[in-house]
């Protein structure tokens, strides 16, 4: 049991580090357009689709922590799924506390259709 927990914590730290590294790269680079996905660094002061952006960043971080805890206790997920959820939520919470916004960088599109939100890897972890 202890070995499993250590492994899950190691994965959480790895997932957070990877997302945070991509966020640093996003801020230091410009836009890159590709066939199905574009690299489009964006500062998100709200939650999905910039909703609730008028709230203070620490209030949003608190709401994100509460939502993450409810998700983890409500759903019976395997350990690695929990690791992804925790890493995704924590990485975005780290951004919100440090910067006051979340750094998003991926926009999916097909022909003239664009996904309405720019997302980051942490958001994808939470799917």
Catalytic residues, by residue number, are 104, 123
Between CA 94 and CA 114 the distance in angstroms is 28
Tell me how far apart the alpha carbons of residues 106 and 120 are, in angstroms, rounded to a whole number: 6
User: Are the CB atoms for 88 and 124 separated by under 8 Å?
Assistant: yes
Q: Which of 115, 123, 116, 107 is nearest to 37 (CA)?
A: 107
């Amino acid at each position: 049991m202890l070995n499993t927990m250590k492994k899950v914590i190691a994965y959480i730290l790895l997932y957070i580090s990877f997302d945070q590294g991509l966020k640093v790269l996003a801020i230091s680079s410009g836009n890159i357009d590709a066939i199905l996905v574009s690299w489009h660094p964006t500062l998100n002061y709200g939650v999905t689709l910039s909703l609730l952006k008028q709230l203070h960043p620490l209030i949003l971080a608190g709401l994100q922590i509460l939502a993450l805890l409810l998700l983890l206790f409500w759903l019976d997920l395997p350990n690695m799924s929990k690791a992804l959820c925790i890493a995704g939520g924590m990485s975005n919470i780290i951004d919100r506390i440090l910067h006051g916004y979340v750094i998003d960088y991926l926009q999916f599109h097909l022909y003239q259709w664009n996904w309405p939100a720019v997302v980051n890897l942490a958001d994808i972890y939470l799917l």
